[in-house]
Amino acid sequence: MTFNLHRILYLWAGVLVLALLLIIPLALWVRVLGVLIAACCVAWAWVSLRLRAERQRGSVRLAEGNVLPAAGFRHPVVLVCGDGLDGLFGRVAAEQLALRVTEQGCYVRVPSLEQLLVVTDQVLAVRAGWAGQLGVMFSVSPGAHSDGAVLAGQVRAFSHQMALARKRGVALPLLLVSYLQTLQDEAPWFCWGIGQAEVRVCEAGACVSLDDWQQQPADSPRQAARMHASVQLNSTVAWLHEAVLPHLVTRNASSLAATCAVTCVSALPHAVKGNLWRQWLRSKVALADHRETVTDAVLPFPDPLLNLLPLGPLRSPVQRASVVALWLFAVAGVVALASSAWQNALLLRQVSDDLRRYSAIPQPTQRNQREFLWRENAVTVLRQDGQRLDAYYRHGAPLAFGLGLYRLCVGLCADAGAGVVAYAGAYRAVL
């Protein structure tokens, strides 16, 4: 929700508190104190929200030439972190946010894993309506790391950041992406869900199974190239299951619903010497990879896979604020009804006790003047009860007895016979 909607909700809550102070029977000084506390709380909330909005909006520094899409943008907004950020967004200062907007969605660069929560808060500060559209793309490639233990620590750190974000109520569906350097010209996206065995190939707006993709071309050279790509894909999948996924899902079981994706590129801008991929090839097939690193290589964005992200319902900020306002009204209504019911019950109990006390006094005799005094005091109390009930009948019941429960309680008691004794009996005793 926007900060203006937050302010309106705080004001609405203050109005409901004032209404409750008028309905619940309290001493005058308690009501005045409650009004002052409610006013101070609303004023403090308004000021703190304004300062927070200015601070967060000032912290969102976009790179030159980057502009956030309009608030009505309804495509996925993906926070990108991990390896190969320079190949995706180009070289950008660490304190600035870089964007790439395509027809399928918007990508936001996260400079480091520790800043995932910060960037999430910054984006929601200026686009509160994007909470249901946010997702995370974690790029991890075997060619970018030379130490498996360091990579495992980074994956666990990322999993921890995801868990913290989800505890705040932001779903952040995960897209785990890996780039593999090959000599193949054709580079579709291979994707599968964690815990699923079937691998699908996404290209040209369609997703087909891996077997169908291998059999599609009629010429032998393309079939051989696709078979070679499938073998490399199997090796990459095996490496991910061995070096990445165990550390990703150990402490955060909800990451099991993530989507994995692999694509082949001709050059990696973030490849290092003696990387894990070369170690993997050497240990499995005893082959050495001596390709050079291209520092200015450009990596593709996973546009064909954005429709696979399980995004939340796209509710507008006004709709969410309306739901919160209705819940606040419901809570205040329950408190008011409970107070009114309690006051009506106390009134009926008081009148009934006064009647029983009058009925329990024996008929006075001339020798027992004390019984005359008791009966006279009881009649005085009943006369006061009768005047009170008559005032409620003529001028209406006070707010403390209102909300429809005063007449409801009278009707229910009358049906049971208690109402006749409690109300009509009071007048009869006075007469």
Reduce the DSSP state of residue 20 to 3 states and report it. Answer: helix
**Closest-CA residue to 97 (of 52, 58, 66):** 66
**Which pLDDT value is given to residue 107?**
93
Q: How far apart are CA 427 and CA 176, in angstroms?
A: 80
Q: Residue 51 to residues 55, 56, 127: CA-CA distances in angstroms?
A: 6, 9, 17
Q: What is the 8-class DSSP label of residue 142?
A: G
Q: Find all residues with CB under 8 Å of 10, minimum gap 6, and list them.
A: 41, 42, 45, 46, 49
**Which pLDDT value is given to residue 253?**
45
Instruction: Render the burial of 391-414: b for 16+ CB within 10 Å, e for the rest.
Output: ebeeeebebbbbbebbeebbeebe
**Which pLDDT value is given to residue 138?**
93
DSSP H or E run through 341 = helix 317-360
DSSP H or E run through 198 = none
- pLDDT tens for each residue of the chain, 431 residues long: 566 777 888 888 888 888 888 888 877 888 889 889 988 988 888 888 777 766 665 555 666 667 778 877 888 899 999 888 888 888 877 667 788 888 888 999 988 888 888 888 888 877 877 878 888 999 998 888 888 888 889 999 998 888 888 777 777 888 999 988 777 666 789 998 877 778 888 876 678 888 888 777 667 777 787 888 888 888 888 888 888 888 886 554 444 568 889 988 887 777 777 778 788 777 766 555 555 555 567 888 998 888 888 776 655 667 778 888 899 899 988 888 888 778 777 777 777 777 777 777 776 655 566 767 777 777 787 777 777 777 776 766 666 666 655 655 554 444 433 443 444 444 344 33
The token pair at 387 is 């005047």
Q: How far apart are CA 312 and CA 133, in angstroms?
A: 7
Q: Are 226 and 186 in contact (CB under 8 A)?
A: yes
Question: Which amino acid is it at 90?
Answer: G
**Which pLDDT value is given to residue 293?**
54
Looking at the DSSP bridge assignments, the partners of residue 180 are 264
Q: Are 126 and 164 in contact (CB under 8 A)?
A: no
- Beta strands 200-203 and 77-82 are unpaired
Q: Residue 135 phi/psi, 5° resolution?
A: -140, 175
**Closest-CA residue to 36 (of 46, 44, 25):** 44
**Which pLDDT value is given to residue 417?**
38
DSSP H or E run through 377 = helix 369-395
